[in-house]
Amino acid sequence: KRVEMADGAWLLRHHALDVSSTLLHAVDQISSAAPFRHMVTPGGFSMSVAMTNCGPFGWVTDRRGYRYQTTDPESGKPWPAMPQSFQSLAESAARDAGYPDFIPNACLINRYEPGAKMSLHQDKDEKDFTNPIVSVSLGLPATFQFGGMNRTDPVRKHVLSHGDVVVWGGPSRLFFHGIMPLKDGIHDAAGRARINLTFRHAAV
Ligand code: MD5
Ligand code: FE
């Protein structure tokens, strides 16, 4: 079933459940080539979420700013290829939410350990906001917060669980959002962590 969480944001509950172990296995392979790391924001803070990427473009941050790049700054090598299982899942979720033409060329992989959080922000580093963002939650549940176009708009909360997929299109593509500090726990398949796959079309 599809639930509209916000204007243009579709929650596809359990959409990734049957491929979740394939996805987690692929995350292990990707992170053995491009390890999870705590990137530094332009303001000089180390992020509590550990990140890596796969696909043609990867999102990075350092003292110079936020950007997409084709190579891993730690190794200088291209990011690991996007597995077919990732691509198929992202495209099928986008199709179910009304975006039959979505082709991701960037996958940011976020790893939250207990206490890790992501403060309220907008995703504005892409060139074309007509493309949706597809987000896949794996492992421990997290409380997602989303507001509106303005930082001060009221915030709503939603728990995202293992296998849930959200397609953020339309007006919600640019809504402020964040993740509350992860509660401690142990997940059968992912251990003491939440993994989020964020699929984007980064460059035109
Ligand atoms: C996460 N990651 O759960 C989220 C999933 C990020 C990030 O926010 O930037 O890495 S993507 C959630 C998202 C994307 C675009 C719009 C909205 C939410 N929204 O309108 O709420 O680790
Ligand atoms: Fe975001």
pTM as predicted: 0.98
- Cβ–ligand 1 distance for 145 under 6 Å, the answer no
- Going from the Cα of 104 to the center of ligand 1, the distance in angstroms, rounded, reads 15
Is ipTM > 0.95 here? Answer: yes
What is the sign of the dihedral through the CA atoms of 165, 168, 169 and 171?
positive
- Reply yes or no on whether the pLDDT at 15 is more than 90: yes
In order of 11, 28, 41, 90, 136, the CA distances from 161 in angstroms are 11, 20, 27, 17, 9
Q: From CA 183, how far away is CA 14, in angstroms rounded?
A: 20
Region 129-149 average pLDDT: 97
Strand, coil or helix: what is 25? helix
Q: How confident is the model at residue 204 (pLDDT cuts 50, 70, 90)?
A: low
φ, ψ of residue 84 to 5 degrees: the values are -55, -35
- Cβ–ligand 1 distance for 146 under 6 Å, the answer yes
Q: Which residues surround ligand 2, an ion (CB under 5 A)?
A: 123
